[in-house]
Amino acid sequence: MKFLWGTLVALSALSATLAAETTHAPGSFSYNRTDFLLNGQPFQIIGGQMDPQRILPEYWTHRLKMARAMGLNTIFSYLYWNLHEPRPGAWDFSGRNDVARFFRLAQQEGLRVVLRPGPYICGERDWGGFPAWLSQVPGMAVRQNNRPFLDAAKSYIDRLGKELGQLQITQGGPILMAQLENEYGSFGTDKTYLAALAAMLRENFDVFLYTNDGGGQSYLEGGQLHGVLAVIDGDSQSGFAARDKYVTDPTSLGPQLNGEYYISWIDQWGSDYPHQQIAGSQADVAKAVADLDWTLAGGYSFSIYMFHGGTNFGFENGGIRDDGPLAAMTTSYDYGAPLDESGRPTDVYFRLRDMIQKYVPKGSIPSVPAMPARAAVPEFQLRPAAALFDLQGRPTRQASDPVSMDALGQAYGYVLYQHTVATDVAGNVTIGDGARDRAIIYVNGVRSGVVDTIYKTPSTVSVTLRKGDKLQILVENLGRVDVRQRLREQVKGIVGHVSVGGTVLTNWCMHSIPLDTLPAGLDGKKTHVVRQKDGPVFYTGSFDMPAGAAADPSGDTFLAVPKGIKGVLWVNGVNMGRYWTVGPQQSLYVPGSILKARNKVVLLELEPQPDVKLSAQGIPERKWFNNADPDAP
């Protein structure tokens, strides 16, 4: 099996090269009132959402083959502006961001592509895909007719045009159409803004545009734009009826497409939030199959959201908040999808495959590729190597008042705020206008409490400080909210003053801890003695892969840290993402493509316990469950 998968990886690389060199005849994609037309012939979109930036490139070909084998003919893909332009003018279209290569591979597998470039995409991504630096641009107001935003968005769309323009169907590529904004009717009604964005897209792309909104009157009327096809998401039957009732502009009417049919739903961290899935439930699976069967039988089109969700590697997850607590998304974006996080088909996958075969020519759906079993890794020890605070050098900045994460030029990770007490003070700690998003408070290096905004009423932490004491506040960005767009609310770290017992504290040192790379000194040669209520500690360890299981999907595994409280885990220098005992996610997906015979693990445990020896193990099947939060209010 290892040889077969190694061959597939090599062939994928060769195929990508050949696909880039292959020329395809220009085609056309249009529509009339009832049908999409591919090269003049009716075309029913049987689609599914799969975002390349949540999947390692080594697995793109396999995931696309799995899409074709379920019967899909079209892939819908969001693009993440924040990954393509992490700093103003600093573009990245390499690795997971090489979306042009993903689309070429899709075409090679016989799949068409629908482009969903944003600039706002929602998708439970950090700030809906917006780069964090937007919050620091003077005069910025996103998703409206605002010159700073339109200028930044135009730069992004123009760059996408250079990267992807040649992949449109009009130039022989797989891209059929492009989405204008995303569910804009859920946000606003600024038609001037939509028209400006549509003009940018049309300057760079020849294919037609469409809008995607929920199936309600305000959503559809707010998001629709003259001359742009309006489609819905959510429930097909009610949504299609709503589209034809509330969209009265004939230039926005055409064939019915459910741009996001929700198979399941998202997962968020919390003791009270179980894993969302329909796999294993005969009634729920039957309903999804029946809904999509009805759609195809009526001659309509759909895209399953998600067909394959993938992973929020590192700190890439977003959050959701209305007027209540923060819903922080898990590292896994499994989404209960037909193709699970590791690319294995579920019972939903096979039931949908059986249904789709009724609507396509016999024999046109390829066989489902074989997939090796995931690897099991025996338990291995993790040893405390260094304290996070000991690895900090000179402060990033010193100021009278705390400086936000974003103002420090940092997008993700942590900021350590440190104050040396000038006069005795005692009472409750008030952190600006609220922690953003989780603050651990220390006095002289000893943990005093946690303020966590995943709760409607976070804990209150009270301290007694004497002159010369050191107050430290470690603030973690748990993910910018994807559906709230006021800039001040998206800024992380501390925004405002810090007070104790009503006394405002001034003179702060800020240490940026983005952890985009691991600090030096974690080679395992040094050790750290964990104390009671200690600060965050790096642990290190290593594991060997079972013989014949590495460097390909036969080495895929899920690493679990059963006694860990909260933190981040790296394997061979790659940030696998956050773990948190509250669940529902209790293990981290580790793709076999990053593994070797011997593998190094680094774990940052935010709340180490002196009487707990941490260990990890690789399990072949995920376990989803919840635990009580030791830091709950």
pLDDT computed for residue 22 by the predictor: 58
SS3 per residue for 363-414: CCCCCCCCCCCCCCEEEEECEEEEECHHHCCCCCEEECCCCCCCCCCCCCCE
Phi-psi category of 236—alpha, beta or left, where left has phi over 0 and alpha has psi -120 to 50? alpha
To which H or E segment does residue 15 belong? helix 2-21
Domains, in order of start, for the chain: 38-357 (3.20.20.80), 377-386+519-619 (2.60.120.260), 392-513 (2.60.120.260)
pLDDT computed for residue 484 by the predictor: 67
Q: Model confidence over 427-448: pLDDT tens digits? A: 999 999 888 999 999 999 999 9
Residue pair 256/45 in contact by the 8 Å Cβ criterion: no
d(CA 134, CA 116): 20
pLDDT computed for residue 202 by the predictor: 98
List of residues 6+ apart from 122 with CB closer than 8 A: 128, 129, 182, 183, 482, 483
d(CA 216, CA 221): 8
Residue pair 128/121 in contact by the 8 Å Cβ criterion: yes
Half-sphere exposure of 516 (CA within 13 A, CB side): 7
Helix axes 147-164, 99-108, angle to 10 degrees: 40
Three-state DSSP at 116 gives strand
d(CA 398, CA 394): 10
d(CA 209, CA 197): 11
pLDDT computed for residue 318 by the predictor: 96
260 is catalytic: yes
Pairing of strands 438-443, 446-452: antiparallel
Bridge partner list, 175: 113, 168
Residue pair 533/545 in contact by the 8 Å Cβ criterion: no
Single-letter code of the amino acid located at 62: H
Q: Point out the residues of the chain with pLDDT beneath 50.
A: 1-7, 9-11, 13, 16-21
Q: Indicate whether this model's pTM tops 0.85.
A: yes
What does the DSSP assignment read for 461-473?
A: -EEEE-TT-EEEE
Catalytic residue from among 260, 316, 341, 607: 260
Alpha helix ranges (H) inside 279-369 = 282-297, 347-356
Catalytic residue from among 163, 181, 183, 607: 183
d(CA 389, CA 570): 19
pLDDT computed for residue 550 by the predictor: 54
Pairing of strands 327-328, 319-320: antiparallel
d(CA 26, CA 167): 10
Exposed, middle or buried: residue 440 (CB in 10 Å: 0-12, 13-18, 19+)?
buried
341 is catalytic: no
List of residues 6+ apart from 525 with CB closer than 8 A: none
Three-state DSSP at 542 gives strand
